[in-house]
Structure 1
Amino acid sequence: MIYRFDAFECDTDKFELRKNGARVAIEPQVFSVIQFLIENRERMISKTDLIDAVWDGRIVSDAAVSSRIRSARQALEDSGKTRRLIQTVHGRGFRFVAKVAEVTRPVSIAVKGAVSEPAGQTTQRGDGLALPARKGCPSIAVLPFDDFSVNQHDGFFAAGLTEEVVANLSRFHDLFVFSRSTTAALTGQQATIGELRERIGADFVIEGSVRKSDTRVRVTFQLIDTATDGHVLAERFDRECSLTSVFEIQDKIALLIAARVANRRDLLDDQMQLTDRHGRPEKWETYRSIARYYEYVRIRDPGLHASLRDDLRDAVQRDPKSSDAWAALAVVLLDQYRFPVKARDNRTLLNEAHRNARCAISLDPDNAFAHQALAMVQFYRNELENFLSSVETSIALNPGKADALAEFGYCFYMAGHIERAIFFLDRSSELNPLEDGIPRLFRAGCWFMQDRFEDAMREISKSPMPGAYWYHAYVIAISHASGNRERAEKEAAKMRKRFPNFMTDRLAMNKTLCVSHEVDAKFATIWEKYLS
């Protein structure tokens, strides 16, 4: 549903506030306040009503409610004396008083074997692929655990522990958990607790440290309320150094936080006991390989790729019950298939990646990462119906996994479904505001396809990728379309020198990457002017 009022639109499907068509930066919880006030504009809303709806009945201070109302007014430019949108009923509550028009979003149509738009219409999301709403769901950012291990070779342990805590918390649908890539990027910029709240809308932050020796492992963590910067929970675990002990610590952290934050202490005893989880590694070497995979995804280094691929192949032979290891191997093999500059027909790699992703799911059907890996492989196998099903499962299991949403956005873009691509890329950007250049490259491509050439130029300029094959090619087309022929010629000179066979090589790459004719043709019309 879209609610239109004044110069604004409140888009509940995309969880987005817009002014005159442009997105307004806003915290998720503030958006929920605005949405609840609009949906109940026929009556006065008390603070208790807001707490029940937005905070799911958790105990919060009057100051926290007042802070959200103030932020809502600032986002709506309603902070003056007139209060033309949100009025305060003194001593009782609030009312949304602006005139609102309701706009129903067009319904999308699923077509066998393809993803298609209704005739003459566009949709903002994939068929049936509505991302779970964050309304009323406490959001948690898990910061990378500090490593104080005795042996420098144990540095993998902190990265692995961080990712496992994220994965465990994501299994509680009472919580919204940001992916590690989001928090790692913000931590790299030394963002404060308050900035985490402001930039990504985190209600709570988890920070901690690990110390591993040959015989003992010690883990401490703190749960911090970003509204007050106060500690809600602090624990320390000191155990013998074994994978069993580590998994017990990871599970205990997740259960304690879910019970405290979601205000559901029954979780400690209910059927979601994480210790029953299948598909966990049984050897330290496997745990280390999975942690190396997280580092590879962060930097996508070709040298690391080759050694990691061989390492993971050994890992799944030594430790065949690890779901994450099989899923990581599937993605690494898929990267080998889809990323070479000169494409070659290597279906063997794609088929091996498919088997590995299937194996990961068979070991742990609730592993969002495994379903993400399978979805990606299915897209490149041109199995679009299966791809859609796996995407839906992956985001249902973990809607806060920014890297997965970005990957799905790339796939929709390459298939020519631009509105769906923008939907997923925008959500990924909201979850990870410090995203790298690749999401920006594809978002620029989306806007180029929509003839938004100036927007495309601004977006692609935010994260330059010198030497990257598609980056220079896209800059040529976007620069030409936006009227900067000098920049286009400069990039073309780089392309002719570095990739002299681009115009023929790209045809093979299009087949490998499943690039639609419509996307290729619009760019190729310009490339032919500069590169033929």
Structure 2
Amino acid sequence: MRYFFEDYSFDTERRELQRGPEIIPIARQVFALLEYLIRNRDRVVSKDDLVDAIWNGRIVSDAALTTRLNAARNAVGDSGQEQRLIKTLARQGFRFVGTIVEDRAAGPGGPATDGGESARMPSTTPRLSVAVMPFANLSGEVRQDDFVDAMTENLTSDISRLPDYFVISSKTAFAFKGKTVDARQIGRELGVRYVLEGSVQSGADRLRVNAQLIDAESGAHIWAERFDKPRSDPFEMQDEITARLARAMDIQLVAAEARRLQSKEALDAVDLALRGWTVFFQKVSVAGAREARSIFEQALRIDNANADVLMGLTEAHLWEVNAYMSEARAEQVRLAETAMSKASGLTPLTARLHFCRAALLIALRAPERALREIELAISLDPDLPYVHVRAGWVKVFLGRSEETEGHLSTAMRLSPRDPMLGTWYALLGLADLQLGRLDMAVDRLRRAIEIAPANELPYFHLAAALALRDRQSEAAEAAETGRRLAPIFRIGKCRLEVQSDNPVFLVQRNRIYQGMERAGVPE
């Protein structure tokens, strides 16, 4: 088995710890201790657990144990003060808290290569593994080097926070600065599947950033993007550019991995998680959520302790529930609660965890608590566009729809070409509809349907907006399309399953029900 975390690989068959291409010397007992912590990373390991596993139950002094723990931390660039990877919990024990990517297919060696351009990468490279190369400074100004280098480091940091990613540290990547090296060679040397390259060009009043994502196995260019931004505060520019790049690269990398899976016969839980999320994001609809849910359930039968899968299952259930199209609402909410509870025990508190919990609390008719969760998510990862979208959505249920647009503007700035963009316009249209801004609601809901025509709920909101504007034939057409996509949808079901008792929200929502009724949506 090989485990990947940060820019380390930990091979239990070869008994090797590597950082990039460098093998880290590590004593036998220290290796065993690190292996035990990694294998049991889903729980807190007590001192007695370690003594039983590493020393076979012999009496071991606290000093000896502390020495081995410090050596393990030192081997992976951690320390007792920082505790970035190995955390001590007072009077409880120890836990490995780093993000791990597993590769069960790893063997004692990769296929031999001749070092030429046609050499293939070993199959043991982690799935979502990437090296961010130092961006090139094309301005010709030496004083811009620090800005460009800092942007590369910030981008590396942003990408490393994405779940299940294996990202080479900027310190290792900067060894390639100023060198012309083929992406395939970088992939082989650093053990990654993808390489991100880029450049920064500075003008009098604008900054241009070019980036390209390369498949390190084939050398093929997967994606390229250019960002132009007016000059402003350098820290603000860095933050905005790196956040947009990280999100755009995340979308492209997950899509690339999903394409790889099409030719793979035996899928493990991580493969299925990638496929489930891809279906969820590409087939933006209740029907797509149901298909994704089936994939997540298949993944859990293989590995029932995968937090990413559990959160995917939670989101898939709640999409259906919160769209008023569940045929077994109480059961789906219960299953979502169970999955959410288990995910919370498996992973440190992250923005994604609070993000998922907010959707669950909306289904449980607790929008005030949902808002607190999403505010925590934003504080943990303000560059994640989805947390801002969910904040805008929660505000609707609190009778604060006038605040929704500000949250959506932030999300669209962070990810202007997001695969969920259709649902974002749908939310903007819903907020306009709640506020009685009917013409704007019609425009945005039509835009939402144009981007994501399979998404069922916007058709009913569009029907209501058109009917309230006395555009009856158009309203009836929108309602008919919605009913064709979602025959289960009923106004009475919306009333029964309404997620908030906020008086402002309820007055606004009742007007929408009147519009739906006029459009011919059944009660």
Normalized against structure 1, the TM-score is what? Answer: 0.46
**Greater RCO, CA 8 A, separation 6+:** 1
Normalized against structure 2, the TM-score is what? Answer: 0.47
